[in-house]
Amino acid sequence: MGIMKFTKVVLQNLFRKPATRMYPVSKRAYFANTRGHIAIEIESCIYCGICVKKCPTHAISIDKGTKCWSIERLKCIQCNSCVETCPKKCLTMENAYTPPVTGSVEDLKESFHA
């Protein structure tokens, strides 16, 4: 009895596709909801600062004088709070994750200017 099951599983495993993906040849598709990183449409931003206040990790900062909105990618926890509270709806949550870090942490502050 046991040997029958055993043989069946072995044969299945021989002819079945692997459970893993052959990355990077076949890449995993993101779901529509996946929280990857925050993107901004800087033209419609009014620099109100609500996203700065709502960010639980203080990853976002703005400079009203130079009209600059910046985010520290490593601090951001993709909680979606800023996206939900933005009055101009210029912040969006994109699916793709940010690429792995290679430089020093200070370089990772990404700034957007109008």
Chain contacts with other proteins (rule: CB under 8 A):
19, 31, 33-35, 56, 77-80, 84, 93
CB of 80 to other proteins, least distance (A): 6
CB of 49 to other proteins, least distance (A): 16
Instruction: Specify the residue, 13 or 44, whose C-beta has the smaller distance to other proteins.
Output: 13
Instruction: Specify the residue, 77 or 101, whose C-beta has the smaller distance to other proteins.
Output: 77
Buried b vs exposed e over 60-95: b needs ≥16 C-beta within 10 Å? bbbeeeeebbebbbeebebbebbbeebeeebbebee
